[in-house]
Amino acid sequence: MDKSQKPLLMNIVFDTNVVFQDWYLESPSIELLEKFMSLSGSKIVIPKIILNEILNKYREEVSKKLSEINRLNGLLLPSKRLFHSLTIEGVFQDYKSALNSRFRILGIEQPDHSNIPHEDIIARDLARRRPFQKSGKGYRDALLWEVILRNVASQKTKTYLISDNYHDFGDDKGDLHEHLQEDLRKKGLPPDSVSLYCNLAEFMGAQVKPVLDSIKEAMPDLMQGQYKSFDIYEWFKENGESIGNSIQQSMESLFYELRGLEDPSVSYVEDPDEIEVQNVYELDIDSVYVDAFTKVDVVLDVFVFKSDYDWVSEKLDLQVCDYDWNKHYIFAQATMKLPINFALNFNINNESVEDFEVNIAEFFGFCPNCSEPVISDASENCTICGKSFF
């Protein structure tokens, strides 16, 4: 970042989905964001209403996983039983302490909602103003918005809300909903003083990476996927299972493409034919952030309702494993070629990956001729087979 530029003062508000993808806020993107904040004076904001939801969700997840472990322990010899000393409360308190410590390190602000009259929330609900839905659902989102409006947004900063609940905060174009823009005007703020992103990856790509100094020119070998003893293809192959687990966490973004499939789970990830290293940023004296992209075949274990099989099989490459799994469902494997963005925290001293993250890149369906993912919504022809989409 050019130090002569006026600092980009941002309030970066995390909704719960950001932390659900990174429980301890230690991913490469968070580390890159941390560097950006140190240069720009920007800050992360996680309102207390969101923190409470994070903690509640974490407790629920721990309870579910410990129940699964206890069921497994019932099948094991006493000497082989797993984590028998763990308790829900003990694990929860450890997480709460670790999260508080991480908040302090990152300088995360936690505005309260105690100054927001309950009557104002009720009035918003009765008027069906966003983020309330017509059904009246949306109390927590409304409280989050009021915290942003009253305690975060200001004339001197630009505020970004990162939330997967963009349908209630935003309009069809992805802009902040007109009800919320009107709220900003009434407070004397420009209607664009708060903007919306559905996930951290989109925000980083649009607002953070473009203003950080790239060091790709200084690391030509790494831009080719190699650095001394490190080879990015070999790393991908060795970590296929972990990469598959990360893809599994991003499956909700495939909701439209997975219609007709129930309980999809990643079985395995094929080795990529090509990996494109797109950029490299310095994190500190010992490590760099590596931005990469690839397209890989991902094999999913799925259940297909028998009456849906014909039209689902026309859209996806399905291999039936058990047609009569039960009276209503077929058990099958579906192969999808997915565009994947992944980032590495790479230590240049010991030539190893310290951490990584994976996200399914935005795409717009599959080519009906060769099943290649369509990366641009403006494309009229497939970039692989060349055939028209129309």
Q: Where are the domains of the chain?
A: 10-208, 215-360
What pLDDT, on the 0 to 100 scale, is given for residue 315?
79
b/e for 39-76, b at 16 or more Cβ within 10 A?
bbebbbbbbebbbebbeeebbeebeeeeeeeeeeeeee
pLDDT digit string, tens, across residues 191-215: 999 999 999 999 999 999 999 999 9
Residues 300/336, Cβ–Cβ less than 8 Å: yes
pLDDT band at 7 (very low <50, low <70, confident <90, very high): very low
Is residue 3 pLDDT above 50, yes or no?
no
> Which amino acid, one-letter code, is at 187?
K
Q: How many CB atoms lie within 10 A of CB 176?
A: 23
What pLDDT, on the 0 to 100 scale, is given for residue 374?
77
DSSP for 204-220, written as a single string: IIIIIGGGSPB-GGG-H
Percentage of residues of the chain with pLDDT beyond 70: 95
pLDDT digit string, tens, across residues 57-93: 999 999 999 999 999 999 999 899 998 889 999 999 9
How far apart CA 20 and CA 358 sit, in angstroms, is 14
